[in-house]
């Protein structure tokens, strides 16, 4: 056995490209490959990688549109009704809809969106419509 779990696999291969890691994984004995995949799932690595993807998306939205999704959610949870461009919100929602809500909850959980006008949505919490 080369790797005892996914954490060890990641430790030794994290500096490699995704393609190189896939080649290594593909060339492992089936039993070890299956054990690494099981370790990946059981130890929560998928959640770590998805959180990294979502954090990167959050940073992109902040850089490109000057909209801090996490800050908007926090302000809405404190009772504020916030305006957001419909185009920006639809881009956010479209991207995040590809992920399970357990992963996106920290960004948009408990938010309610209502249309203000043709260009603007209002964000609030579900209990403050």
For residue 128, what pLDDT band results from cuts at 50, 70 and 90?
low
For β-strands 82-85 and 120-125, DSSP reports them as antiparallel
Please give the Cα distance from 67 to 47 (Å, whole number). 24
> What residue ranges in the chain does DSSP mark as E strands?
82-85, 111-117, 120-125
pLDDT tens, 20-71?
Answer: 999 999 999 999 999 999 999 999 999 999 999 999 999 999 999 999 999 9
Question: Both ends of the chain: CA-CA distance in Å?
Answer: 57
Collect contacts of 53-56 with beta carbons under 8 A, ≥24 apart: 54/96, 54/99, 54/103, 54/104, 54/107
Q: Is the pTM for the entire model greater than 0.85?
A: no
Residue-level pLDDT at 1 = 78
Q: Mean pLDDT, to the nearest integer, of 67-91?
A: 95
Residue-level pLDDT at 83 = 95
E strand or H helix at 47: helix 45-65
Residue with tokens 């801090």: 68
pLDDT mean across residues, the chain: 93
Burial class of residue 93 in the structure, from the number of CB atoms within 10 Å of its CB (0-12 exposed, 13-18 middle, 19+ buried): middle
Please give the Cα distance from 23 to 65 (Å, whole number). 38
pLDDT above 60: residue 16 = yes
């Amino acid at each position: 056995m080369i790797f005892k779990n996914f954490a060890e696999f990641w430790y030794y291969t994290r500096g490699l490209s995704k393609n190189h890691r896939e080649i290594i994984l593909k060339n492992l004995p089936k039993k070890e490959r299956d054990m690494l995949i099981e370790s990946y799932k059981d130890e929560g690595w998928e959640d770590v990688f998805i959180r990294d993807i979502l954090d990167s998306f959050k940073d992109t939205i902040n850089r490109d549109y000057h909209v801090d999704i996490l800050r908007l959610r926090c302000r809405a949870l404190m009772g504020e009704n916030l305006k957001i461009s419909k185009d920006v919100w639809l881009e956010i929602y479209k991207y995040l809809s590809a992920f399970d809500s357990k992963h996106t909850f920290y960004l948009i959980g408990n938010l309610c969106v209502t249309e203000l006008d043709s260009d603007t949505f209002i964000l609030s919490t579900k209990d403050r419509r």
